[in-house]
Structure 1
């Protein structure tokens, strides 16, 4: 009897040893989706992005993504985070919020990304929010300064740039301090432009100043800007704040200069200096652009020095404000991954992001403490010089 019991126990032990691993494999295919967050494997983390990567306003998005990829490639070359390499999957939404929503749905439900990263534009970010809320997916970074996207109810959206209120507030404050009171606002007639206009209106109100005119620009009719320019020029403003991006900016300035007038042109951070210089040449001299990150050329900032070295090592020519913003946003994301630990989940990523209190990336500070989601209010005004360089 003793021998039979011993033999039976030995047999059961061998069976458990042989079949238990197979049982675990089988169960991994039938466990409910909530058992583990998607996009995570033993060796990788898949994240997703939607943005405008083609067309007249694509340049800031392309630069932003290039900067982020430089950092991700650098991290991956060192083995990743907790042994996992980061893969960024991007879809072009052609600056169409409806397509952006479709892209977000595809990323989350078909590609099954772990999280969303660096959403490009106000429309794309806003269009993605319903799915973000429904699936409890954190979003790190948005190339938008919309104040509406900084609503405290949007707890899953972590910003790494200042708001349009911060940007336009700095512009109005600067103009008021130099005695310029006749200020016009031109804006793209789309979600991005309207969000920027609303922020500008708040900035004017805080400074006790009223814009002399608010003029919309139809992105589909850039070849018929003469009437818009005529309305603005008739008032002869001392300065024009442009809530525009890409071709809309250069088209408006070029048309306005035909009037023979040269007011001070101010642009929000998504206005590409590279495009201005390419399209306007010497006429770009004197244009002021709000910047939400330090100059990538100012090596007195640790983050700029680090970025320059990384870009040069990667043989990248994308050394711009937008690419630095993408780079530092990737750095914030990676630091949160590191703090979240090897047993990664979306919930742990959010908790890790919330531990970033006065996190200094090298002269640029991110602070998500006390429930903050707008991690920075950094704004610097830069002027395009005669040589095409920025003066601060």
Structure 2
């Protein structure tokens, strides 16, 4: 009996060791036999967090629906490698605490393949470590913070917008050359958005070249103290690193205080249709506003990208009012489809990230995309615009620069036209 028991114990132990060994082998290869989250033979599911409500919803609430409309257009034309794109859009109200909740839901419950174009510097910063830990591709963040360009720390995160220091340098370069001798002041959001933009401005104008600096927080819509301080300081040019609602608040408040500076505004808060909706009958106050953009101007009906996006908007976005946010959302969608095509039919999170790192993408942007293994920052420049006669138009050349101390140079390469059917090929 004891011999039989010993033989049974040996057999049981051997089976246990074999099972343990097999389990360890599976752990050594995390991808062995594992399904790719959000990917089936017929579908790719990605998600985003957006301010559909709250202080940043003006204009920005239109971005994700425009991206979805472009995906629906691609789906109607056969999808990507035979798969249809599903875009889960959740509202975070531009509240960082809410962002953390909804992104965890998208990743852990909805099992999305990637997070695409999550919007906001203060909001998205709070989910970087979570997405990194869970190895979720974090593509084309809707913000110009330099946080997204940390390939060693966050290898799966990539920006889209020109970073705010690059933008600040280009705007300040225009002020220095076209408005010499004017007293320059700066208003920025009280986070990396405002701080990075100010760093760029001061790289060109110097710290002494900014006569007064003010900040705002999105929870307080009274900017009269800041604008009043600019008036008292005799500011002639005010550079704004503001979301659209606070651009409109600044311009409207200045008018009430009989303060009429030259406004020079970040691309984040310079879209004319959005600002006009905010100001209503006072939209004429925007005349002369200088902005920066890196995508086709929404009112340029001769541009082939605007023609494509207008068609997509009519067919798949319910004919929503067409503005710079619509263009932005569809440009993000186009780039994401390019990357999916490059990643191939055997799609994994790793192949998607590697496809972005390889770079070489061209599309509607007037400035270069800078993706590489060592640069995750997105667009590297932009072109200045001016509001004249109630219309927003480009003027002058496109510029590119870096976030360090490099010069602001002209960029002469024109954007490529869209493919005939509006869908990038593999």
Normalising by the smaller structure, the TM-score range is 0.7 to 0.9
Against the structure 1 CA distance between its residues 32 and 159, is the aligned structure 2 distance closer, same or farther, given a 3 Å change threshold? closer
If the length of structure 1 is used for normalisation, what is the TM-score? 0.84
Q: Could you tell me which runs of 5 or more consecutive residues in structure 1 were left unpaired when the two chains were aligned.
A: 1-30
Report if the CA contact (8 A) 1:353-1:368 is conserved: yes
- CA distance in structure 2 between the partners assigned to 1:56 and 1:363 by the alignment: 28
Q: Is the partner of 1:140 in helix, strand or coil?
A: strand
Report how many aligned residue pairs link the two structures: 357
After TM superposition, the structure 1 stretch with the greater mean CA deviation from structure 2, 131-140 or 370-379, is 370-379
Report if the CA contact (8 A) 1:240-1:264 is conserved: yes
Superposed, which structure 2 residues align to 1:190-201 within 5 Å?
191=191, 194-201=192-199
- CA distance in structure 2 between the partners assigned to 1:57 and 1:87 by the alignment: 25
State the partner residue of 1:378. Answer: 381
If the length of structure 2 is used for normalisation, what is the TM-score? 0.78
- Deviation (angstroms), 1:188: 2.6
- 1:347-381 CA-to-partner distances (Å, cap 9, x unmatched) read 01112222331x22156443423432123213122
Against the structure 1 CA distance between its residues 187 and 362, is the aligned structure 2 distance closer, same or farther, given a 3 Å change threshold? closer
State the partner residue of 2:362. Answer: 360
- Deviation (angstroms), 1:319: 2.4
Report if the CA contact (8 A) 1:296-1:308 is conserved: no
Please say if 1:122 is aligned against 2:124.
Answer: no
- CA distance in structure 2 between the partners assigned to 1:248 and 1:77 by the alignment: 38
Q: Is the partner of 1:265 in helix, strand or coil?
A: strand
- CA distance in structure 2 between the partners assigned to 1:125 and 1:306 by the alignment: 30
State the partner residue of 2:226. Answer: 228
Please say if 1:316 is aligned against 2:316.
Answer: no
Superposed, which structure 2 residues align to 1:1-392 within 5 Å?
35-153=34-152, 154-178=154-178, 179-189=180-190, 191=191, 194-208=192-206, 210-223=209-222, 225-271=223-269, 272-278=271-277, 279=279, 280-298=282-300, 301-314=303-316, 315-357=318-360, 359-362=361-364, 364=366, 365-392=368-395
- CA distance in structure 1 between the partners assigned to 2:51 and 2:41 by the alignment: 32
Report if the CA contact (8 A) 2:148-2:159 is conserved: no
- Deviation (angstroms), 1:95: 0.8
Structure with greater helix percent: 1
- CA distance in structure 2 between the partners assigned to 1:32 and 1:268 by the alignment: 43
- CA distance in structure 2 between the partners assigned to 1:103 and 1:110 by the alignment: 10
State the partner residue of 2:22. Answer: none
- 1:216-269 CA-to-partner distances (Å, cap 9, x unmatched) read 22433324x332222111111111011111322222221112232311112211
Q: Is the partner of 1:45 in helix, strand or coil?
A: strand
- CA distance in structure 1 between the partners assigned to 2:217 and 2:265 by the alignment: 17
